[in-house]
Structures are given as structure tokens and as C-alpha cells.
Amino acid sequence: MAKRVLETPSAPAALGPYSVAVEAGGLVFISGQVAIDPATGDRAPDDVAAQTGQIMANVGAILGDIGLGFPDVVKTTIFLA
């Protein structure tokens, strides 16, 4: 199965040796996101609402850059600490 790494300037750069998003078999997989504003590199305040908002904005931007949106999402896994 062929895979394609999807690059986007609308999300923070990967913090390790992984891709922000990958397309394989007609599916798109988005890596875990952190509460960093890609425009400034600043981390969202220590507030669950602010951090969740930033993360969802990042996911939305990734989806938008590849021609998708939240209605196209089939599954998410969310970890809160």
C-alpha cells in the first residue's frame, strides 16, 4: 500500500521524527497535536479550554489544507492530562 506524507504550514512542525499527517489507502491519519500556535510558536496558556481550542484549530487547519473538514473525521482519540 502506498503512503503519502502530507506537509502543511498551518500546524506546528513535528516535535520528533514523525509526520504531521499521512495518507494511505484512501484514509488520512493526523498525528497527535500539541497546543502550539503555528504562527507564533507560542504554547497556549495552562488552561484546558485554551489548549483544547488551539489543538482543534491546528487539526482543522491540517484538514483544511488537504481539502477536508471535521465532517470527514471518522475517529479521534483524545488524551487529557
Mention every residue, 6+ apart, whose C-beta is less than 8 A from residue 49: none
d(CA 67, CA 45): 30
Residue 80: HSE in the Cβ half-sphere, 13 Å Cα cutoff: 7
d(CA 25, CA 12): 25
pLDDT of 11 reads 84
Q: What does the alpha-carbon distance between residue 42 and residue 46 come to, in Å, rounded to a whole number?
A: 12
In a domain, 79, yes or no: no
Query: How many domains does one find in the chain?
Result: 1
Q: What pLDDT sits at residue 21? A: 93
Using 50 as the pLDDT threshold, list the residues of the chain that sit under it: none
Residue 42 belongs to what domain range?
A: 3-72
Domain containing 57 — which CATH number?
A: 3.30.1330.40
The answer as to whether 45 is a domain residue is: yes
